[in-house]
């Protein structure tokens, strides 16, 4: 049985539906991210789990217990928000001890658990410092220690890393995952950063307009997005509008008269479709030797890879290639684009509106 379950959960603010009919089952020890653009209902969903917002409809249960209408403090979940406000007049150790004091945990036990929590986030030597004497990343780790010290059944994180600069943010992503693996706390994180969601989660829940549109492991989400929005939101992709053609055993997407061989299940002939192909799945070859000819419109050096935009009969196609030394094709040069048809994803346009 799942550890945390949401069944038909909705939230209306007046006439506006912020979250619509969400069903989700999370296993004990899982790290799940809620991913989606601004305003799609991620925070509202997290707050309903925390007990800070009451669902208009549906049921939330934790370890078999219905908690839909239970007060936040009775749920005892650990919460870390974007503005993780530490108490400025308390030391790091006092900040971490706060939740234990509120729960009247005896002094000796408190000291031991604070020590363990600080060791977990690698801040043992910072126990007597004040928040103002810490870097952003260190403060964030104190906030995580403060949430974990009460040994919550579930840890809820709302954009916990968004105040950090890019490099620190990346370091903290690994750190967060390391800590979560070590303590095994079931964790739900809200983020609008797809790279963050992919890199640290066991599963990602994609939300669009208050609805959950796909729940999958990061790899599957990236390789098999269920609609065109997800394929462009999760990673980069080329989206080409066309029509689905079938002729006996062969099938292709027709883009303005250019036929690109592809396979897809259950799409009737003549359906409008979107073809998605990732830039890294396209190989640059000599002109005339690929599946599509084009001309390099621009090229960008990104360090570990090159990014090209290629002008083709089906429109501009973005291609990325690992930097393996040597000079790549110049702007203006004729090239051939090749790929394995298995790497093309055909999405019926009915799925886009879903
Ligand atoms: P962001 O990434 O920008 O934080 P989000 O996906 O977390 O967005 P929510 O904060 O859950 O989105 O909000 C979902 C929708 O519900 C938004 O359109 C928001 O304006 C609306 N909303 C949230 N809280 C309230 C409220 N208390 N009253 C009215 N509308 C609200």
Span 111-145, pLDDT tens digits: 999 999 999 888 999 999 999 999 888 898 899 99
pTM of this structure: 0.86
pLDDT of residue 350: 64
Cα of 17 to ligand 1 centre, how many Å?
Answer: 10
Looking at the structure, tell me whether residues 75 and 216 fall in a common domain. Answer: yes
Residue burial 266-304, b: 16+ Cβ < 10 Å; e: rest: ebeeebebbbbbbbbbbebeeeeebbbbbebeebeeeee
Q: Cβ–Cβ contacts within 10 Å for residue 229, how many?
A: 23
Looking at the structure, tell me whether residues 27 and 108 fall in a common domain. Answer: yes
Which one of 18, 22, 52, 212 would you pick to mutate in the ligand 1 pocket, going by the greatest count of ligand atoms within 8 A of its CB? 18
Cα of 234 to ligand 1 centre, how many Å?
Answer: 21
Looking at the structure, tell me whether residues 58 and 77 fall in a common domain. Answer: yes
The whole-angstrom separation of Cα 177 and Cα 117 is 15
Residues forming beta bridges with residue 158, ordered by sequence position: 190
Q: Do you know the residue count of the chain?
A: 354
Looking at the structure, tell me whether residues 72 and 201 fall in a common domain. Answer: yes
Residues of the chain with pLDDT under 70: 83-84, 350-354
Looking at the structure, tell me whether residues 244 and 153 fall in a common domain. Answer: no
Looking at the structure, tell me whether residues 190 and 290 fall in a common domain. Answer: no
Region label for 272, one of left (φ > 0), alpha (ψ between -120 and 50) or beta (otherwise): beta
Looking at the structure, tell me whether residues 165 and 128 fall in a common domain. Answer: yes
Q: Are 316 and 298 in contact (CB under 8 A)?
A: no
pLDDT of residue 160: 86
Atom 24 of ligand 1: nearest residue by CA position = 44
Cα of 155 to ligand 1 centre, how many Å?
Answer: 21
Domain count, the chain: 3
pLDDT of residue 85: 79
Looking at the structure, tell me whether residues 104 and 169 fall in a common domain. Answer: yes
Looking at the structure, tell me whether residues 86 and 219 fall in a common domain. Answer: yes
3-state SS assignment for residue 121 = coil
pLDDT of residue 84: 66
pLDDT of residue 266: 85
Residue 329: CATH number of its domain? 2.40.50.140
Looking at the structure, tell me whether residues 171 and 267 fall in a common domain. Answer: no
Atom 7 of ligand 1: nearest residue by CA position = 43
> Residue 180 is part of which domain span?
4-227
């Amino acid at each position: 049985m799942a550890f945390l379950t949401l069944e038909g959960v909705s939230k209306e603010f007046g006439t506006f539906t912020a979250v619509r009919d969400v069903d989700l089952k999370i296993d004990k020890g899982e790290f799940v991210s809620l991913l989606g653009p601004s305003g799609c209902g991620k925070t509202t969903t997290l707050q309903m789990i925390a007990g800070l917002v009451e669902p208009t409809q549906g049921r939330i249960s934790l370890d078999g217990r219905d908690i839909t209408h239970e007060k936040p403090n009775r749920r005892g979940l650990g919460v870390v928000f974007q503005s993780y406000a530490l108490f400025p007049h308390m030391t790091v150790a006092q900040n971490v001890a706060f939740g234990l004091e509120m729960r009247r945990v005896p002094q000796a036990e408190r000291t031991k658990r604070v020590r363990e929590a600080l060791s977990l986030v690698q801040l043992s030597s910072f126990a007597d410092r004040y928040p103002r004497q810490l870097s952003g990343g260190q403060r964030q780790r104190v906030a995580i220690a403060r949430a974990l010290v009460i040994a919550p059944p579930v840890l809820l994180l709302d954009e916990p890393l968004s105040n950090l600069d890019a490099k620190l943010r990346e370091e903290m992503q690994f750190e967060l995952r390391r800590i979560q693996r070590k303590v095994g706390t079931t964790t739900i994180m809200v983020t609008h950063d797809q790279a963050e969601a992919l890199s640290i989660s066991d599963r990602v829940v994609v939300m669009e307009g208050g609805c959950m549109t796909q729940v999958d492991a990061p790899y599957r989400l990236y390789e098999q997005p269920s609609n065109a929005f997800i394929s462009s939101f999760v990673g980069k992709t080329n989206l080409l509008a066309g029509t689905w053609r079938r002729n006996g055993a062969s099938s292709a997407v027709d883009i303005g008269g250019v036929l690109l061989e592809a396979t897809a299940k259950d799409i009737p002939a003549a359906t409008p479709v979107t073809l998605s192909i990732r830039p890294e799945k396209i190989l640059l070859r000599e002109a005339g030797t690929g599946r599509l000819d084009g001309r390099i419109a621009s090229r960008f050096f990104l360090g570990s890879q090159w990014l090209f935009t290629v002008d083709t009969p089906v429109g501009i196609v973005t291609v990325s290639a690992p930097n393996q030394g040597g000079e790549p094709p110049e702007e203006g040069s004729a090239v051939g684009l090749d790929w394995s048809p298995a790497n093309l994803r055909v999405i019926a346009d009915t799925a886009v509106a879903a």
